[in-house]
């Protein structure tokens, strides 16, 4: 909508009030395109009245129309659009044809929009000749034109949400007598036991017995979802009013039976997956407890340290599964996982006399759960290395993780310890911690250890379009 305002100010003489009118109108464009089975364009005259600018356009979802590559903001000379010029001169609804592309022609149906000051703009419905000449199309076009007359000041956009090709459309006259119904609507009502629609009253018992307990002849748009036998039907009733009088009704009927069944399946699947994550977390914590018991029984300091490191690695994975069990299986907040791992290390791996300060700053980074365990283990190893080697001889230390979301996801870990020894080369190190990080970063996260320039792009992953850099 802001783009429309910028375009209108740059090319037209529309006032602020007139621009607000069009902003309300543009909310209807997706619905209008689906209703009229046509591409809907808004043409505005330029300041010199010698050209038109395409201020907005919307493509239908109910039929296929080949693209022509013309975008919003394009300025077209008036002499190139004689149908539009005729509509400007007559101020009446005009039909005509124009070239679509490569010699193919389309039908143009242009509705001028006027107020007390004169012409505001032109709404053009563009579709194929086959569609424009099909049975009942005039009813659809008339309903779309009625909807253009007076956009509601407080439009409920959900009531005029876009349609799909499987949605049924029913139109009535001012007496709620059905004048037209699409094939999809006839099919849905046929399953409900209604053999004929056209000519019947919308609120006749024959029409309503399966889907409504009482008639709702209201002047406001309304929507409801009804279970009718084995079907789940959503009905949108959109009355078109003028001066307090009904002009027509547009009724959109959707069969949601399959959608709701899939929703139930997804909910069940999600619940099962969350329960699995919960049980995995509990099992990992049990394993960690067994290793702690073994460490306490061991008399070797090296064995105790090795077992304690294993415990912490297991618990870091447990933290990931805990988040996945609470938030779902698809994504995980890296910052929250990092904070839990830092706290875990501070409580279980650091001497009580040592004070570890940690922080996580930067962007909110939500990544696919496929990387969650790998990132959790890498962070665990980084903070363990910092506490074990970086703060030797100190009573306190500070670690910080900075998260970035730019061309690639960036996880930048740093501490205020003594730093790495001179000549340190991570690729030549053989310690278990560095080996774990190298395997996870290069294998799972796709980025060479401490070498961000060599990352591979992860566009082939269904949940991510960016690479991940991990550096310390």
Q: What is the pLDDT along the chain (472 residues), one digit of tens a residue?
A: 568 889 999 999 999 999 999 988 999 999 999 999 999 999 999 999 999 999 999 999 999 888 877 788 999 999 999 999 999 999 999 999 988 777 778 899 999 999 888 899 999 999 999 999 998 999 999 999 999 876 656 677 888 899 988 899 999 999 889 999 998 888 888 877 777 788 888 877 655 555 444 445 567 888 888 777 677 888 898 998 888 888 899 999 988 887 778 877 777 777 777 777 778 878 888 888 888 888 888 888 888 878 877 887 787 777 777 766 766 556 778 888 788 778 877 776 566 677 888 888 888 887 777 777 778 778 877 887 777 777 877 888 888 888 887 777 788 888 888 777 776 666 666 666 677 777 777 766 655 444 333 333 332 333 344 555 556 5
Cβ(170)–Cβ(202) below 8 Å: yes
Q: What is the pLDDT of residue 465?
A: 44
Q: What is the pLDDT of residue 443?
A: 67
**Planar angle of CA 302, 305, 308, nearest 5 degrees:** 150
Q: Is the dihedral of CA 275, 281, 284, 288 positive or negative?
A: negative
* Alpha helix segments (H runs only) across 362-431: 372-385
Contacts within 8 Å (CB) and 24+ apart, 216-224: 217/176, 219/244, 219/246, 221/156, 221/159, 221/160, 222/159, 223/158, 223/159
Strand partners, 227: 232
């Amino acid at each position: 909508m802001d783009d429309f305002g910028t375009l209108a100010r740059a090319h037209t003489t529309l006032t602020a009030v007139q621009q607000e009118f069009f902003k309300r109108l543009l909310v209807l464009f997706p619905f209008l395109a689906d209703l009229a089975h046509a591409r809907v364009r808004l043409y505005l005259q330029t300041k010199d009245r010698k050209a038109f600018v395409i201020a907005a356009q919307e493509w239908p979802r109910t039929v296929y129309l080949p693209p022509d590559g013309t975008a919003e903001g394009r300025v077209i000379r008036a002499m190139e659009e004689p149908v539009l010029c005729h509509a400007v001169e007559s101020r009446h609804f005009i039909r005509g044809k124009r070239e679509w592309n490569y010699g193919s022609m389309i039908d143009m149906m242009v509705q001028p929009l006027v107020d007390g000051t004169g012409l505001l703009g032109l709404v053009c419905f563009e579709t194929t000749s086959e569609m424009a000449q099909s049975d009942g199309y005039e009813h659809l076009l008339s309903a779309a034109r009625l909807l253009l007359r007076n956009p509601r000041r407080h439009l409920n956009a959900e009531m005029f949400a876009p349609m799909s090709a499987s949605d049924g459309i029913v139109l009535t006259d001012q007496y709620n007598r059905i004048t037209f119904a699409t094939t999809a609507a006839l099919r849905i009502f046929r399953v409900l036991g209604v053999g004929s629609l056209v000519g019947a009253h919308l609120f006749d018992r024959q029409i309503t017995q399966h889907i409504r307990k009482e008639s709702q002849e209201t002047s406001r748009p309304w929507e409801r979802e009804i279970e009718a036998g084995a079907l789940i039907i959503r009905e949108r009733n959109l009355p078109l009013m003028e001066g307090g009088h009904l002009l027509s009704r547009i009724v959109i009927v959707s069969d949601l039976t399959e959608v709701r069944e899939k929703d139930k399946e997804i909910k069940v699947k999600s619940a099962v997956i969350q329960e699995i994550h919960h049980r995995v977390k509990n099992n990992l914590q049990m394993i960690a407890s067994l290793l702690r018991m073994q460490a306490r029984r061991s008399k070797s300091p090296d064995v105790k340290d090795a077992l304690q490191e294993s415990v912490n690695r297991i618990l870091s994975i447990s933290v990931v599964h805990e988040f996945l069990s609470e938030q779902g299986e698809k994504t995980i907040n890296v910052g929250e996982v990092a904070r839990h791992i830092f706290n875990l290390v501070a409580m279980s791996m650091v001497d009580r006399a040592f004070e570890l300060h940690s922080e996580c700053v930067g962007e909110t980074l939500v990544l696919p759960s496929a990387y969650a365990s790998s990132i959790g283990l890498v962070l665990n190893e980084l903070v363990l290395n910092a506490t074990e080697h970086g703060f030797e001889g100190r009573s306190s230390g500070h670690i910080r993780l900075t998260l970035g979301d730019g061309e690639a996801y960036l996880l930048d870990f740093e501490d205020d310890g003594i730093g790495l020894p001179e000549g340190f080369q991570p690729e030549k190190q053989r310690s278990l911690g560095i080996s774990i990080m190298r395997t996870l970063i290069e294998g799972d996260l796709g980025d060479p250890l401490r070498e961000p320039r060599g990352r591979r792009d992860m566009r082939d992953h269904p949940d991510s379009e960016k690479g991940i850099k991990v550096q310390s």
